Structure 1
Amino acid sequence: MKRIILFGLVLVLLAGCSMIADGVNTVEIMSDMQVEIDRANKGIDTYDKMIAQYEEVLNLESKLVDPTTPEGKELVEQVASKLTEAQNEANSYEDQVKELKASIPQLEEAANKFNDEELKKQANQFVSDFKASVETELKYTAKYKELLELHQMLNKEYSTGKIPDDTEYQTLFAEIQKLDEELAKQVNQYNDSWGTFHKNVTENKLK
């Protein structure tokens, strides 16, 4: 499962230029947008920990042959512990994405400061694309939490020596992969709309 995170936006303030053609302070607006977009990167460490812990779970399970042996029981306990850690990180990550969603109105406010209708339209397109990606990431995170919880249940069942039915797990995993692909497209979309907007702002700055 590849990393899903909102990143890659580098907002370059227009050095030596404080105004664009419609008389709005570009640096102020771009700074406002930078503050909110920086929130998108705050969760990277949390996300990385969550994914790393789950990868450890899968690695431990690859060594598990018989869960009823002393060695097997120890591995099952380690799997349960790592799953709990991943669940804690997933909860933290979800909270951070929710904070990001809560910041969208500030981005919308910044976009609407432009008087030039074309710039305002492009700024709002970027914000709309960015908002869509945040909504998808929330869905992704919720499904990922479901997956971890289900995996914990399957691990408990496996600890008794039974082979659990992983049909629901496979279904959830497929849904997560689909959201992963959708989010990747949305990240590309908001980067494209940002590029169009930023290029227009740069070209319209006062000499």
Structure 2
Amino acid sequence: MKILKWALMGLMVVNSGCVTSVRASSREHLSAKNSEVVLQGTTDDAARRLTELFSKRGIQVTDRQVRRDGSTLYTFKGTRSTLTTVGPGPFGTTGTTNTVGSAFYALLIQQGETTKVALMGNPTVDNRNVCSDDAPAWVPSCSEDVYANPNWDGLDQITGKEEAETIRGLLVELDLTRGSGPGLMAARSESEANQPFEAPKPACIASELPEWKEASSVEKKQLLEKCRGPAADAP
């Protein structure tokens, strides 16, 4: 494995060995099941919707790959912050600037008239992915380990938590805008999409109520209205 060491607290930390391996992803804070959604329409419809939502968050689409199994993998990347660290160097004080961002992967699988979307995110440092131990097979392999000084102020920004929050927020927004149309949410997860539709049960059957036989036409109408609501609303 190729190892890339960044001197995030000055060049001397690499030579002294005072570094720690950084590994993180959104999966450490958000499970695979909670990182999925089923959208209406084709994979192109889903890709357009995801591109719109990510773009609102300052994250742009950077790559598209059609896989052998027919699925499509999209990559989205964005910058979150720029950190400058000042520390001792071999010839005096040294300043190091690093850019912290995020990379997101969206696997789109066509399923009839809907598209299943699986999401995962990794933090990035200087546009290079932080590797993780829990990446699914469809995420591009990570060949460069990132090392940082344990005291670097940027460590709390590359834990995978920010990526998990972005995915969670994106899915919440999709859920709030449910409707009928390409790219709109069909189900929160694949299991929800596969559940058969069940019509709501009425609160009661008016003709089976004891008072039905002797009720007037007006009273029967009132009983019908009473039983028309869902069972949960029944007194």
Length-normalised TM-score, structure 2: 0.23
The TM-score, its normalising length taken from structure 1, stands at 0.25
- Whichever structure has more strand as a proportion of its residues is 2
Return the structure number with greater helix share.
1
Pick the structure with greater CA Rg: 2
